[in-house]
Every structure is written in structure tokens, then in C-alpha cells.
Amino acid sequence: MRRVWVWGLLIAAVAGAVVLGNTLRSYAGLFTAARGPAELSALLSPAYVVNVPEGAGPFPTALLFSGCDGPHDNLPWMASQLNRMGWAAVTVDSHGPRGFDKAEVWRLVCAGQLLGGAERAGDVAVALADVRAMDFVDDDRLALIGSSHGGWAVLDLMALHGAGRLPYNLTAWPVPSEDVLAGVQAVVLYYPYCGFGSQVSRLGWQADIPALFLLVEGDTVADETACQQIIADMTAAGRPIEEIVFPGVTHGFDQQEKASFSLLGYDEATTVKAFEATRDFLYLNVPPG
């Protein structure tokens, strides 16, 4: 029996070391396959979901990025609310084109084993370039809206771009470096990951783009205090930032579709409040056309 326990502990230690090693590999970008911008666009663009309001464009446009479990009901709902404001919305799916929506592979993304924020940041850069070329888009009035892992990707793009470094999955920027964030007038971050594995936690960002952080008090998935430290540092550096913390709800409060046995809950009232804050922030920071 003692030998069984020893072997069990040894196997658990090895498994833990493998997981930790792969997590660090993902965060450091080791062995990440980098693509040219055109190749990455060819992978992602067939899965873009475009929602355009009634009327004549061009429209201010928001790019939406999902959490680590891929696009769910919160993003179509948000797109419909944006359309009611007169905004277009383009949802960027980083999961389906890579097959991460099959057999619950997305759980490896949530566990930090696949597609870290500094890698997915390349998806944000390429999608921005693609969206600017769409004929209904006012490319001077853009916003990035990221939920959880999507917020991590948006923040890491800003961090890497400000530091003159490429996202892990790109061999080159899709446009001249100075134009990567051109036209982005606002960034909205729903309960993003800001922890030690993010680039933004070390680098901050340089762009003076207004950012709104919508955080959860006592977030058990993405510790909100890590984001609050970044907010404090970036506010001290002169970056325009607003912060709202929602008590009494969980991470992913705006998403009704949950995995089996999930401990996270949907809260309709907070979902509405969060979007109202998003709407007001966009109205304030994105000038009329």
C-alpha cells in the first residue's frame, strides 16, 4: 500500500510539473506557431459575425472578443444592444477556427495551456485591420470590447504594441506599427485577466486610449485586485481609465450559457447595468461622426 501511495504521489508530481511547464511555455510564447498577417486573417475572417444597424453607414464599430470558453450568448446580446445605439459589431471567434470549440478543448484555454493572451493579441491586431477595410465601418470610430480572456488579449495587444513587441502568433504587424491601434477610441474590459501571466501586468501600455474596467468584487476566476493594481499604475502614468466594481455577482455574470456544473451565475440586472456603463462610456469617448 505504501508503494502505491509513493507511485501515486510521484505521478501527481510529474503531472503537475508538466502542467506548470506547459503553462509557462504558453505564457512565454515558446514553440507558438507564428503566422503572417494574411494567413491569420484567412484563418479568422470566415468566422467573423457581423451585425450592422439599420440606416446608412459608415457606422462606429465595436470588435467583440469572448472569454476562454469561446463565443456565447452574451456577445450576440451585446451586438444587438450596440446596433440599437447605431453601432456595428464584429464578433471575432478565436476558438472555432482552431477547433477549440470541439470536445471541450476550450477548457485547456481556460487552464492556461493553450492560446494565452499574448498569442491571442495577434487575433485582435489582425481583426482590427480586417474591420477597417469593411465598407460599413467608420474606421476613425472603433472600440475594442473584451470579456475575461478576450479582455486579456486586448490588454496584451496594447502592452506589446507599446513595448514594440509582436504578439506571439504573428511574424509581422498587419499594418505599419504606428497604425495598429489607429481609430480605436475606447476599450471596454469585462472582468479581464490581469495576473502574472499577462504582458500588461509587466509592461502596462502606452496608448492614450480611454479604458473602462468592469470588475467583479471577489472574482474567483480573474482576481480583480491584479487589475486594480494595473489601473492604479496606469492612472498614475496619465492613462484615462474608469473602473466599476460589481458586488454580489460572479465572473461571467452576463453569460447565461454555462458549462455543466459551473459555479458561475448569470445576473440580468448587473448585465444591464454593465452595458449601460459601456454605452455611456462609448458615447462619452467616441465622437459623433
Write the CA distances from 93 to 85, 96, 108, integer angstroms: 23, 6, 16
pLDDT at 155 over 90: yes
Residue 2 pLDDT exceeds 90: no
> Considering the domain boundaries, does residue 7 fall inside one?
no
Choice between 31 and 246, residue whose per-residue pLDDT is larger: 246
* Angle made by CA atoms 191, 136, 170, in degrees to the nearest 5: 55
Per-residue model confidence (pLDDT) at position 15: 32
Q: What is the mean pLDDT of residues 34-40?
A: 98
pLDDT at site 5: 47
Please check the confidence at residue 10 and state whether its pLDDT lies above 90: no
Collapsing DSSP states into helix, strand and coil, what is residue 155?
A: helix
- The CATH number that applies at residue 208 is 3.40.50.1820
| Lowest model confidence (mean pLDDT) among 10-24, 98-112, 257-271 | 10-24
Model pLDDT, residue 4:
47
Confidence (pLDDT) at 29: 56
Range list of β-strands (E), 104-150? 137-147
Cell of 254: 452576463
In-domain check, residue 24: no
What is the number of structural domains in the chain?
Answer: 1
Residue 81 covered by a domain: yes
Choice among 32-36, 72-76, 89-93, 249-253 with the minimum mean pLDDT: 32-36
pLDDT, the chain, mean: 91
- CA gap 66, 247 in Å, rounded: 22
- 179: pLDDT strictly greater than 60: yes
Kindly state the cell numbers that stand for 37: 498577417
CA 44 to chain centre: 15
Closest of 93, 91, 97, 95 to residue 51, by C-alpha = 91
Least confident stretch, 22-36, 159-173, 208-222: 22-36
- How far from chain centre, in Å, is Cα 55? 29
The average pLDDT across 281-287 equals 96
Full-model pTM:
0.90
Comparing CA positions, the residue from 218, 208, 228, 216 lying closest to residue 252 is 216
Within the chain, strands assigned E span: 49-51, 59-65, 88-92, 137-147, 184-190, 211-216, 241-246
Q: Please enumerate in sequence order all residues whose Cβ is within 8 A of that of 65, keeping only pairs 6 or more positions apart, or say none.
A: 92, 94, 120, 123, 124, 144, 145, 146, 147, 149, 150, 151, 153, 154
Range of the domain at 199: 43-285
Is residue 7's pLDDT more than 50? no
Bridge partners for 165 per DSSP: none
- Name the residue among 88, 130, 63 with its Cα closest to residue 289: 88
Is 245 among the domain residues? yes
Characterise 74 by phi-psi region: left (phi > 0), alpha (psi -120 to 50), beta (else): alpha
